[in-house]
Structure 1
């Protein structure tokens, strides 16, 4: 018995030695991305760089109420419970056992629980109360492998939660920017409607006095009708964007119907962050929550191989029973007889018709699948970084071009107005110049929205301030 007690700490510390040694798959990484170096900065609350308090409030609301984040949190709770269950399987289980028998023994004596009892020659109770201990020796690391796999699952679920937070934050920012762009487009279209109405009224007057023909009047009418038809579609897009943003931030149905989204900075006044990387390419593996999640899934599949291999070896279980017994259950605690037993059982596979082998093959195939998914997540990450950088550059150039075009249209309107005041231009010339300005403003809003969206994509592609070490510190 002393030897068993001495060996118990070693028996409890099962080692997952049948699992393959884990080594992170090697992937060739670039030193820079399109020649852009990394600038050290804190991107954990990157949305604050746009300088809009309303956006900051929406992001805070989404992080607290979003359904996507809440679902990811429940997945983390499930993974933690699964790990607790797997870890508990490595420890002994202790339970209470009891029995009561009622009857009469003809010879007045019986042996039970390793003891000899003298019964009175009358109908009596024979009772027992004690404790039972069961433990499976984890010599092959089966339970340890399962525990380590569940532990990796907890880390993976934590990374998945951070990925959900980043995705929601990016979605809120892009929807908010779209909403502000649509607000501006609706205002421009309303101005354009007034301009086209005025142009049509002047052309109609000219047609009535015979100054222009019916073709020119028809052209003016079609332009006016086109602008009028565009406004309801634009307003529908704005309403849909507002509803989608309300759902994404997790507002209740009552708030969704009765409360609109607050407005902050005009889209032209929103700051566009500097389009530089905050991490080096070699650091991207540690700064993308989806990559970290896939690696933990790979680690879990690696330990699952050890769990499957353990089925080739015998399982050994220990059981111990100790307690007190008495002839009369009513006087159990005055019993003079105590008993204990200690036993062991072993079950070894002999012929399972390839079931264990199939389990090992399945575990290995799952690991190979996780390797592919892990490598694919890395490729996707660098693709998104590259696309975001290129989109930043092209959107910045497009935005600058549209600003120049808008300024030129504004200058033309100013000069045409001066010519009107001096009698060298007509009112219709001024209205035509105003129409040109409105068209360039629509293009400018579109270019600014593309530039803002590209900056959000870059923050998301580089992890948005995520660090794997910070998440591991929370879940140890």
Structure 2
């Protein structure tokens, strides 16, 4: 027989031996998108746009408005969806710790006692006897020696799932920042529209009084009086509509933030909000692979790849060790006495022979899952490419659209002034004034919408280029939100 010292050193020797991994060698798939962004008239304004990459700009540097920074900081600390994503990350991290622990033996202390009566027919002495046995010891219970990498593959799968959950949390933060900022600017734009509607109502009421007085003295027709009244009621309806919209914007902002937002943090008007920082699109191969949703898809692909290793290893024998050392006696008082030392060593090998094809089917499932996650990873890149291309196309045309809208508004202001002057002089009827006023009002509303769209496009471009999840905080950003740090495999084991 093998000497006791050899048996006692065997588990340590086996634990230090390397295991064979059955998982396929992982290679990052080539992105199924062009190597450059689209070109054409829509993209001329953004070709060679200077500035740092979006992923290199912390959100505190991109959103320069102090009030918006405070609102975003409050949202990162209180938004319930982001909190759920962080808790899911903690759950995945704990599950990874469980899987990693299976690589090492579990040492347990035990104490047990048995007392039983054996009848005369089985006692061997011809008389009934009472047998008592007590034992105390420590040992290892059913520790699997991972020769074929099954346990290690499961551990790697759990690690990649944890990293995927971390990237899901980062992606949730990016979406939250963009959504809060968009609602913040929508509130500013709607307050501008409300102010415009209120000013228009005041002007239309004054015009109606003038036209109605002219009608009373016979200088104007009754039709002109009714037309002026229509303008008053239209403006009054717009005031009510934008008052409601502003309240709904505030409600939406409170829901996203997850807490009441101080009034002094809210924007008064769109013109009072500082512009956002410009970002450079970079190359698709550099930009898209840094987005957290794409990193999450790749982690899920790696997890599925590791699961194939576990499914393959199931075809090979499993070797488990159970061992313990301690003291044993026929009486409790006899424990720890000389000669009571006891040990046990129980290796076990299980060789699968026939399981009606369950293991082979499980391997097919693992391979199919890997192919599914590969397709999802490639689709995530394609969707990201389309989102960036759309944002760049919008960015390339918005400046020209904004300039045209400003020129249109100025031209209609002049038209409205001349129409009023001609009506006052009795040259034209009030219909010309009414048409000019309606056109000017629509142009002013359109100008507000284009200015909001420009800010929204900058936010969208920052988001789709992967900005907003980097938690590195600039020195000038005080009191930034405490968030879960992003996982980086290069920094070591997340469970350590």
TM-score bracket relative to the smaller structure: 0.7 to 0.9
TM-score by length of 2: 0.83
8 Å contact kept, 2:166–2:486: no
* 2:52 is the alignment partner of 1:52: no
Cα displacement (A) at 1:371: 0.6
Measured in 2, the distance between the counterparts of 1:262 and 1:431 equals: 39
Structure 1 gaps, min length 5:
112-120
Other-structure match for 1:2? 6
Measured in 2, the distance between the counterparts of 1:68 and 1:185 equals: 31
Other-structure match for 2:100? 87
Measured in 2, the distance between the counterparts of 1:4 and 1:328 equals: 27
* 2:22 is the alignment partner of 1:18: yes
Measured in 2, the distance between the counterparts of 1:366 and 1:195 equals: 66
**Worse overlay, 171-180 or 205-214:** 205-214
Measured in 1, the distance between the counterparts of 2:58 and 2:91 equals: 28
Q: 1:206 to 1:265 in 2, by over 3 A?
A: closer
8 Å contact kept, 1:297–1:370: yes
- Which residues in structure 2 correspond to 1:279-318 (within 5 Å)? 279-318=282-321
Measured in 2, the distance between the counterparts of 1:413 and 1:215 equals: 20
Q: Can you list the C-alpha shifts for 1:121-165, whole angstroms capped at 9, x where unaligned?
A: 997843111112121111111101000011111111111111111
Indicate which of 416, 439, 443 corresponds to 1:440. 443
Q: 1:446 to 1:106 in 2, by over 3 A?
A: closer
* 2:368 is the alignment partner of 1:365: yes
8 Å contact kept, 1:181–1:445: yes
Indicate which of 152, 156, 177 corresponds to 2:160. 152
Give me the CA root mean square deviation. 3.3
Other-structure match for 2:397? 394
Question: Residue 394 of structure 2: SS of its match in structure 1?
Answer: helix
- How many residues align? The count is 458
Cα displacement (A) at 1:47: 5.8
Q: 1:198 to 1:318 in 2, by over 3 A?
A: same
* 2:153 is the alignment partner of 1:133: no
Measured in 2, the distance between the counterparts of 1:42 and 1:470 equals: 18
Q: 1:378 to 1:403 in 2, by over 3 A?
A: same
Other-structure match for 1:37? 48
Indicate which of 177, 191, 195 corresponds to 1:169. 177
Question: Residue 153 of structure 1: SS of its match in structure 2?
Answer: helix
Indicate which of 236, 239, 242 corresponds to 2:244. 236
Other-structure match for 2:83? 70
Cα displacement (A) at 1:225: 1.8
Other-structure match for 2:385? 382
Measured in 2, the distance between the counterparts of 1:391 and 1:199 equals: 40
Cα displacement (A) at 1:377: 0.5
Other-structure match for 1:115? none
Q: Can you list the C-alpha shifts for 1:395-428, whole angstroms capped at 9, x where unaligned?
A: 22221112222333445567789x69x9799998
Other-structure match for 2:226? 218
Other-structure match for 2:270? 267
8 Å contact kept, 1:15–1:145: no
Question: Residue 52 of structure 2: SS of its match in structure 1?
Answer: coil
8 Å contact kept, 1:143–1:307: yes
Cα displacement (A) at 1:464: 0.6
8 Å contact kept, 2:416–2:433: yes
